[in-house]
Structure formats: C-alpha cells, structure tokens
C-alpha cells in the first residue's frame, strides 16, 4: 500500500460514509410515508368491508319487507275468506292458519328491527372510517409534498456519490478494495482507521510493536487483529486521515 492508496482509501471512506448517511435519511423518509400509506390501505379495506356488510343488511331488509307485504295481502284474503266460511271445522282451521301467520310476521318484524339497528351501527362506523381515511389521505399527501423534494435530491446525491466512489475504488487493488468494502459493511462505516500511540483507534486495542512499525513504514497494509479495520499510520499530533476516529 503506498501513500496514494492511503489517500484514496481515506477519500473513499469519506464519500461512502456520506452515501450511507443519505441512504439512512432516505430510508427514514420512505418508512414514514410508507407507514402512513399502509395505514391508509388498511382503513380503506376496513371501510370496503363495512360497505359490503351494509349492502348485505340492506338486501336482507328489502327481502323481509317484501315478504311482510305479501303476508299482509294474504292475511286480507284469509280474513275475507273467514267471513264467508260457513263450515266450523274449515273456519277454525283457517283461524289457526291466521294465528300461525301472525306469529311468523311478528318474528319477521323483530328481525327487521334488528336489521335496522345493525344498519345504523354500520353507518356510524362507516362515517368514522371515512373520516379517518380522509385524514390519513391528507396526511399522506402532505408527507409526500413535504418530503418529495428532499427524497428526489437525496436520490440524485446518492447516485452521484456512487459514481464518484466507483471511480475512486477502481484505483485500489482488488484485494484491498474487497477488504475495505467488507469491513465497511461489518464495522458500521469505518473500515480505515488510524494507529496512534501503538493503538488501533477503532477499538483501542494495543497493537504489537512489530505490527505498527510495519504500518509506519507504510508499504503494506495490515488489519487490526481485534476489529479487522485497515490500519494506517498517524502520528499522535495529527488528525486521522479517515472520517470518524472514535
């Protein structure tokens, strides 16, 4: 590893950390809008189910109302027939039929009342759901508007950063590049770290003197035996070449 490779590594890490921060901000923005969007979908589907239920109740109501109307007409016929019947046996059979029909109608009327109550409950729920859907929808639109510009600029900055980091990374040897990229992923964005006073500044472990002597000569790279970060020599008085030295 020569001086220019050390510089390249340090510059690459600065760009990669910047990209990483922007990606995190973008993910946070998308998560926020995404959460509101799925909430909106859930409420919309709840409202659709309630509407369907309401339609079913309404259809059963119509069915029962028609049945009651038919029954009223038939009851009128039965009463007229009863007035004309001279045979006691036939009359009492018809009277019995009328009593049974009355009971049946009373049950139908009871069911109708229940259906009307159900219908009103569903209408109340639906109104609340529609209000929620409207409020969440407005929130989604507001979020989209507020974060839309930031989202777009983050995307283009990330894209530009990637192009820049690729051209830098291409200057590194294959082994060094792979090593750097692996450690960058594993060590949360700090892959290159300074050696100061014989310590790795990434994990603060004391390095064997022969190791930091080798690093000080600067002609080959070595990794910290404890945190695996790529070590670069840095006299104690200077700032680390790589971003983030804690």
- Residues in contact with Zn ion by the rule CB under 5 A: 200, 202-203, 224, 226-227
How many residues are recorded in the chain?
A: 246
- Cα 45 to Cα 36, 80, 216, distances in angstroms: 14, 53, 65
**Least CB distance from residue 227 to Zn ion, whole Å?**
3
Q: Nearer Cβ to Zn ion, position 130 or 222?
A: 222
For 5-62, give the DSSP string. Answer: HHHHHHHHHHHHHHHHHHHHHHHHHHHHHHHHHHHHHHHHHHHHHHHHHHHHHHHHHH
State which residue, 55 or 205, has the beta carbon closest to Zn ion: 205
Q: How far is the CB of 177 from Zn ion (least distance, A)?
A: 20
Nearer to Zn ion, 114 or 226 (CB): 226
Which C-beta is closer to Zn ion: that of 202 or that of 241?
A: 202
Instruction: Tell me the angle at which helices 88-169 and 174-186 cross, rounded to the nearest 10 degrees.
Output: 140
Cβ 213 to Zn ion shortest distance, Å: 17
Taking the complex as a whole, how short is the minimal distance between the CB of residue 146 and Zn ion, in angstroms? 42
Q: Which residues contact 4 (CB under 8 A, 6 or more apart)?
A: 171
Instruction: Choose between 202 and 240: whose C-beta lies nearer to Zn ion.
Output: 202
Burial of 152 (C-beta count, 10 Å sphere; 0-12/13-18/19+): exposed
Instruction: Compare residues 137 and 245 and give the one whose CB is closer to Zn ion.
Output: 245
Residue 165: CB partners within 8 Å, gap ≥ 6?
A: 12, 15, 16, 19
The token pair that represents 205 in the structure block: 């472990």
Q: How many CB atoms lie within 10 A of CB 242?
A: 25
Residue 220 Cβ, how far from Zn ion at the closest point, in Å? 17
Instruction: Give least dist CB 185 to Zn ion, A.
Output: 16
């Amino acid at each position: 590893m020569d001086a220019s490779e050390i510089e390249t590594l340090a510059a690459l890490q600065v760009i990669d950390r910047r990209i990483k921060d922007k990606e995190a901000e973008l993910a946070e923005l998308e998560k926020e809008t995404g959460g509101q969007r799925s909430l909106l979908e859930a409420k919309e589907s709840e409202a659709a189910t309630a509407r369907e239920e309401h339609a079913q109740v309404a259809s059963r109501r119509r069915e029962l109302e028609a049945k009651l109307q038919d029954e009223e007409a038939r009851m009128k016929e039965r009463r007229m027939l009863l007035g004309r019947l001279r045979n006691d046996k036939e009359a009492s059979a018809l009277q019995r039929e009328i009593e049974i029909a009355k009971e049946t109608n009373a049950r139908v009327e009871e069911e109708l009342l229940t259906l009307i109550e159900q219908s009103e409950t569903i209408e109340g729920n639906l109104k609340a759901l529609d209000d929620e859907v409207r409020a969440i929808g407005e929130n989604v639109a507001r979020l989209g508007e507020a974060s839309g510009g930031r989202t777009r600029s983050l995307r283009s900055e990330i894209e530009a950063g990637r192009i820049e980091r690729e051209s830098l990374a291409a200057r590194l040897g294959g082994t060094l590049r792979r090593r750097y990229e692996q450690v960058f992923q594993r060590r949360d964005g700090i892959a290159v770290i300074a050696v100061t006073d014989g310590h790795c500044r990434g994990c603060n472990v004391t390095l064997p003197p022969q190791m930091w002597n080798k690093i000080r000569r600067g002609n080959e790279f070595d990794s910290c035996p404890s945190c695996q970060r790529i070590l670069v020599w840095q006299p104690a008085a200077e700032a680390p070449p790589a971003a983030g030295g804690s």
